[in-house]
Copies of this chain bind each other. A is one copy, B any other.
Amino acid sequence: MAAVTSKTNAYEQLKTSILTLCLQPGADLDEASLSERYGLSRTPLREVLRELAGEGYVELRENRGARVSDMSFTTLREFFLAAPMIYGAILQLAAINRTPVQIADLKSAQRDFVVALQKGSVSQRTLANNRFHEITGEMAGNVYLLPSFKRLLIDHARIGMTFYKPSNNAMAEKLSEASEQHDAIIAAIEAGDEKRAAQLAEMHWNLSRGQIEMFVTPAGIEGQLGFAGENNDKKTA
């Protein structure tokens, strides 16, 4: 998948559309309309869908078309169970096997992420973050860990698109914290400090989990509806 053909174009566009929730989880994918949309016939488009299915972007159902891989509360739980393990292993190996060019790539990706953080859309930020982690996966250089890691990154991006909206200051703060962790990860990898890398991996996921919890249980509205407990002295506006 190197040359710039309408096929690779469709492949990349579908990927980013799924990552940015432009195509929502569970959405039906019609072969006819998609092939027309991307300017190719159904045959190559079907092959693209098969490839995307292999990576976990879409699910194929026999005689019933493809749909974007679904996400549920169950998968969210599975996600946070598997993520620290896999990512911990990936970062450890990245710290061991990294090459100079890869480190340069990673730093470049981090610069892009910082820019996206400052003046990018939620999608751009998500994609930049995704690219950063993709590179760490490449650095690890283990074909057996990579499939699961890539699968994780798909849903990491989609979870990010859902929950990491900087609607309040606390969220924005978390995001800059994530950026600082990226810097720390780069430093640990560059230093070949595998223990530190593993530690940072876990911290990074704890941050993600914290952001989701913050989103699910919003702060700052206690008592507003008059349901506050007996000991609440605070006056309601």
Contacts and interface: CB of A to CB of B under 8 A. Distances in A.
Contacts of A150: 147
Given A1-B62, A3-B62, A82 B51 contact: no
Interface string A143-173: 1111111111001000000000000000000
Copies of this chain present in the complex amount to 2
Given A54-B54, A55-B54, A144 B47 contact: no
Q: Is the interface of A mostly helix, strand, loop or mixed?
A: helix
A89 B148 CA distance: 13
A230 interface: no
A151 B147 contact: yes
Interface string A60-97: 00100000000000010011011101100100010000
Given A54-B55, A62-B1, A82 B43 contact: no
A53 interface: yes
A78 B142 contact: yes
A50 interface: yes
Given A3-B62, A50-B47, A151-B143, A89 B85 contact: yes
Interface in A9-55: 43, 46-47, 50-51, 53-55
Contact of A82 (B1, B47, B62, B142): B142
